Amino acid sequence: MESKIAEAISLKYQPVALIWSDQKPEKAVQFQERKWGCIMWLAASAAKGKTALCDRKTFGCFGGGVGIGFGDQYENFPGGKDCFCHFLSFGNDQWEQGQQAAERVKPFLRKEAYDNFMHGERYLKSPEQVHKFIKDLPITDIPAEYVVFKPLSEVNSAQESPQVVVFFADPDQLSALVVLANYARQDNQNVIMPYAAGCQTIGIYPYQEAQAKKQRGVVGLTDLSARVYIRKQLGDHLMTLAVPLAMFEEMEANVDGSFLQRPTWHSLVESKK
């Protein structure tokens, strides 16, 4: 599959297709079983031209398992969901269950991970808020064994049907994508930017949008941890926009004749050369 959008906005990296599959592609990048990793690394690998995948034993982290569509993996977090809720807020060092869980997992965690387990990532103010955050997530258990991350140009549309297409875009390119997402719609609220993990904004949130009568794009990479993790792979100043396949096709059909062929957009492109 080719993308008029990618060419028109001069993307540095390829759009990435997320495909649900029961077939494992050959030579795909994959985490080792039950080893830590960030799902966004897999997406970044695909953006750079390599096919990657994950399954229910190789999703890298509990949040990644949730984000990519393998059910409520927070239940399997060390010490249980309550410990995760403390981890994402003010930490596990102030209550007995958390302290006991920390002692059990300390030998298996990197120094940074143990510090976060004890003192919290502090992305939400309280464990109660994290419980509410989890309750509101569109947690999904997909009906397939694998999620495959594939460069869009390598997708065979006669044999494969992506669930989601993800763009890695700089501020100008993201602005263009937002304009294009609204270009042929009857209102101007066709992109959302939820607080969520990087993987959740390319996985379960656009999965949810795919089921909606009016699909919306999902802006991501506001996840500070994910931004740190992919910096070495893709550099700084990138965000994501993830759209369901039908919305991608709608946007593709609207490139010709749009602002992307007018002087204002061209001047932004030329100013970066």
Mean pLDDT of 236-258: 97
How crowded is the C-beta side of 256, counted as CA atoms within 13 Å? 3
pLDDT at residue 273, as a whole number = 78
Mean pLDDT of 138-160: 96
Mean pLDDT of 54-65: 96
Report pTM.
0.95
| Max CA separation in the chain (angstroms) | 63
Residue 190 pLDDT more than 90? yes
List, edge to edge, every strand of the sheet that includes 52-54: 52-54, 146-151, 16-21, 164-169, 239-244, 217-220, 191-192
Instruction: Please provide the DSSP assignment of 25-46 as one string.
Output: PTT-B-PPTT----HHHHHHHH
Residue 59 pLDDT more than 90? yes
Q: How far apart are CA 51 and CA 70, in angstroms?
A: 20
* For the chain, percent of residues with pLDDT exceeding 70: 100
Mean pLDDT of 61-87: 96
Mean pLDDT of 246-268: 97
Rg for the chain, CA atoms, rounded: 19
Instruction: Outline where DSSP puts E strands in the chain.
Output: 16-21, 52-54, 146-151, 164-169, 191-192, 217-220, 239-244
pLDDT at residue 265, as a whole number = 97
Mean pLDDT of 52-62: 96
* For the chain, percent of residues with pLDDT exceeding 90: 96
8-53 pLDDT, tens per residue?
Answer: 999 999 999 999 999 999 999 999 998 899 999 999 999 999 999 9
